[in-house]
Each structure stands twice: as C-alpha cells, then as structure tokens.
Structure 1
Amino acid sequence: MNGNQIEGLIGMLATLGILVLLVLPSALGVLRDRRIDRQIRQARQPGAPNRPAQEPRRHGRRHGAARPA
C-alpha cells in the first residue's frame, strides 16, 4: 500500500464512522419504539395478567393537623 491508498482508506473509515454516529441514535430509537409497541399490544390482550398498581411510599409521616393522642 502506498500513501495515497492509506489516505483513501483513512478517509473511507472516517466517513463510515461519521455515518454510524449519525444513524445509530435513530436505529436505537426505532428499536425502543418497537419494544414499547410490543409491550402495549401484550398489555391490551385479553387474559393479560393484571398487575396491581404500586402503593405510594409512606415515610411514616402523616399529612394533616390531627395527631393521635
């Protein structure tokens, strides 16, 4: 390989690297959206397990003016 071929290879690799950096966030977003859509479809199916809602965390504090005597 001579100098011109090496420069061409470096330029091509740099171009491909920039292309990957530009396309990767979009591809990851598409995969995330598909996963969310699949989860929504599974949740809408009849017979899907009903998960109880999480209870709010209580840190031992009571809101309000009344206190037990």
Structure 2
Amino acid sequence: MQTLMNTTAALLTVLGIFVVLALPALLGLRREARIDRELRAAQEGQNSSSKPTEPSTATWYAEGRRSKKLVSS
C-alpha cells in the first residue's frame, strides 16, 4: 500500500512539473492565435474598403529613413 502511495505521489509530482513547464508555451500559442485572428480581421476590413489609403507623411518619412539606414550599414 505504501508503494502505491509513493508511486501516485511521484506521478502527480511529474505531472505538476510538466504543467508548470508547458503552461507558458500553451498561453503563448493562444496569444499568437488571437493576434493572428485580429490581424486577419483587420486586413479583411482594410481590403473591403473601396478607397485605397495613402500612407501619411510621417509614415513615408520613417520608411525612407529606415531603408537608408539599412543600405548604409
């Protein structure tokens, strides 16, 4: 009877450690899936608009600065 209790305690300990180690990864996967859904929904909403959007001047300037940095380094 004592052996069964030791085995059960060891099994529960291993399962507990597994849950503690796997939980962050599972939560990260869930978060990534939510972000992917939000991005898809935003892209579908953007594609459904009839008027194409122009980037703002600030965005255009920042993109130019970024590409120059990449080329010069």
Report the TM range for the smaller structure's normalisation.
0.5 to 0.7
Correspondences of 1:19-58 after superposition (within 5 Å)? 19-45=18-44, 46-47=47-48
Letter in 2 for 1:29: G
- 1:6 — aligned with what? 5
Higher helix share: 2
Deviation of 1:14 (Å): 0.3
Aligned length: 47
Question: CA RMSD, aligned part only?
Answer: 1.2
**Structure showing greater Rg:** 1
- The 1-side partners of 2:43 and 2:14 are apart by 44
- The 2-side partners of 1:5 and 1:33 are apart by 41
Of the two structures, which has the highest relative contact order with CA contacts closer than 8 Å and spacing of 6 or more? 1
TM-score (norm 1): 0.64
Deviation of 1:47 (Å): 3.0
Unaligned runs of 5+ in 2: 50-73
- 1:67 — aligned with what? none
TM-score (norm 2): 0.61
Letter in 1 for 2:36: D
Deviation string for 1:9-68 (max 9, x for gaps)? 0000000000000001000000000100110010011237xxxxxxxxxxxxxxxxxxxx
